[in-house]
């Protein structure tokens, strides 16, 4: 008879293998540029598939510490790809809205306007629009989010060590990573709420993308709360190694799945941005 962990791992394989194919179509359609956000859906699906494989292997071979270690690490790093995807989609919305506003103002928009040179020119010649500043803040948030991911991976590796000193340092690194995620989430929440005030000015074809990001906020919040409880409580119910399946499903697995499905759906239905605009965001 299958254990609860093995059943959950199989369920995630059933869910995320089709999601990987769908997200690959989305990425191929919209482009691989990280600032578009779609690429992180495929990354998360890949992480979940590999992590579920390790989890099944860990159940079959409970004495293999490597399988247990990597199953725990990969199952605990879902926050970062979701945050990065949300940031990328929000930046897409903000950039498209800014370009629309410039077009309606009658200003000619050369492709260089969204390049590095164009951004520096705006910064030193005149005050940047509020939407442009929001886009720049989002770009800055990619760094702490990536650092948080690295800290959680390294911390998870140390936590699986037999040495108490490594376990202590691993938990410290994991806590630091979660704190960075909280900071990024708070900034994402604030920028999303500010952008919501300009909803009527958002390009109509981008409004459903924005609504998906807005709907994802409480789900991301619940996922981050689960991560915080795991590292700051670390008891029988909340643990990095996912001992309580019910808590993990209700506060992590379900939230991740709903966000990925919502983003994948809008990715399949949202129009593709012109190649010139995408390339100009490097």
- pLDDT band for 64, please (50, 70, 90 cuts): confident
Q: Is residue 17 part of a domain?
A: no
Of 50-59, 111-120, 235-244, minimum mean pLDDT range = 111-120
Task: Please report how many Cα atoms fall inside a 13 Å half-sphere around the Cα of residue 225, on the Cβ side.
Answer: 10
Whether residue 121 has pLDDT greater than 60 = no
pLDDT in tens, 244-273: 889 999 999 999 999 999 999 999 988 876
pLDDT the model gives residue 125: 38
pLDDT the model gives residue 130: 60
Two tokens, residue 225? 């709360």
Overall number of domains in the chain: 1
Domain membership of residue 263 as a residue range: 78-279
Please report which helix (H) or strand (E) contains residue 83, including its range.
Answer: helix 79-104
User: Which of 155, 175, 161, 149 lies closest to 232, judged by CA?
Assistant: 175
Whether residue 56 has pLDDT greater than 60 = yes
Whether residue 61 has pLDDT greater than 70 = yes
Whether residue 118 has pLDDT greater than 70 = no
- Rounded to the nearest 5°, which phi and psi values hold at 115? -85, 175
User: Which of 258, 134, 269 lies closest to 191, judged by CA?
Assistant: 134
- pLDDT band for 16, please (50, 70, 90 cuts): very high
Q: Is residue 215 part of a domain?
A: yes
pLDDT in tens, 161-202: 778 888 889 889 999 999 999 999 999 999 999 999 988 888
Q: Is residue 38 part of a domain?
A: no
DSSP structure string for 104-168: HTT----GGGGSHHHHHHHHHHSPPPHHHHHHHHHHHHHHHHHHHHHHHHHHHHHHTSS-HHHHH
Distance separating alpha carbons of residues 208 and 228, to the nearest angstrom? 30
pLDDT the model gives residue 106: 52
Q: Is residue 72 part of a domain?
A: no
Whether residue 98 has pLDDT greater than 90 = no
Q: What is the mean pLDDT of the chain?
A: 83
Rounded average pLDDT over 106-133 = 49
Contact 119, 133 (CB under 8 A): no
User: Which of 220, 279, 274 lies closest to 100, judged by CA?
Assistant: 274
Whether residue 31 has pLDDT greater than 80 = no
Q: Is residue 109 part of a domain?
A: yes
Rounded average pLDDT over 126-141 = 73
pLDDT the model gives residue 22: 94
Alpha-carbon torsion angle 241, 41, 34, 277, nearest 10: -160
Contact 195, 132 (CB under 8 A): no
Q: Is residue 30 part of a domain?
A: no
What is the value of pTM for the model shown?
0.84
Q: Is residue 249 part of a domain?
A: yes
pLDDT the model gives residue 225: 95
Q: Is residue 169 part of a domain?
A: yes
Distance separating alpha carbons of residues 199 and 35, to the nearest angstrom? 21
């Amino acid at each position: 008879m299958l254990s609860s962990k093995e059943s959950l791992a199989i369920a995630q394989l059933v869910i995320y293998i089709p999601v990987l194919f769908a997200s690959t179509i989305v990425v191929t359609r919209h482009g691989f540029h990280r600032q578009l956000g779609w690429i992180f859906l495929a990354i998360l699906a890949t992480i979940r598939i590999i992590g579920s494989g390790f989890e099944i292997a860990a159940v079959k071979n409970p004495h293999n510490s490597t399988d247990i270690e990597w199953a725990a690490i990969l199952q605990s790093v879902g926050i970062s790809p979701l945050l990065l995807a949300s940031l990328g989609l929000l930046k897409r919305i903000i950039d498209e809205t800014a370009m629309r506003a410039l077009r309606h103002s009658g200003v000619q928009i050369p492709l260089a306007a969204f390049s590095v040179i164009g951004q520096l020119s705006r910064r030193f010649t005149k005050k940047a629009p509020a939407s442009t500043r929001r886009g720049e803040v989002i770009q800055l948030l990619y760094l702490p989010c990536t650092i948080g991911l690295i800290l959680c991976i390294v911390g998870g590796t140390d936590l699986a060590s037999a040495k108490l000193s490594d376990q202590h340092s691993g938990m410290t690194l994991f806590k630091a990573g979660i704190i960075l995620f909280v900071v990024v989430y708070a900034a994402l929440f604030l920028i999303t709420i500010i952008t919501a005030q300009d909803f009527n000015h958002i390009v109509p074809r981008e409004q459903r993308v924005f609504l998906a990001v807005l709907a994802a906020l409480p789900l991301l919040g619940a996922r981050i709360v689960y991560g915080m409880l795991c590292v700051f409580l670390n008891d029988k119910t909340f643990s990095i190694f996912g001992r309580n399946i019910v808590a993990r499903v209700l506060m992590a697995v379900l939230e991740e799945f709903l966000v990925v499905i919502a983003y994948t759906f809008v990715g399949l239905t949202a129009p593709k941005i012109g190649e010139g605009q995408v390339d100009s965001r490097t």
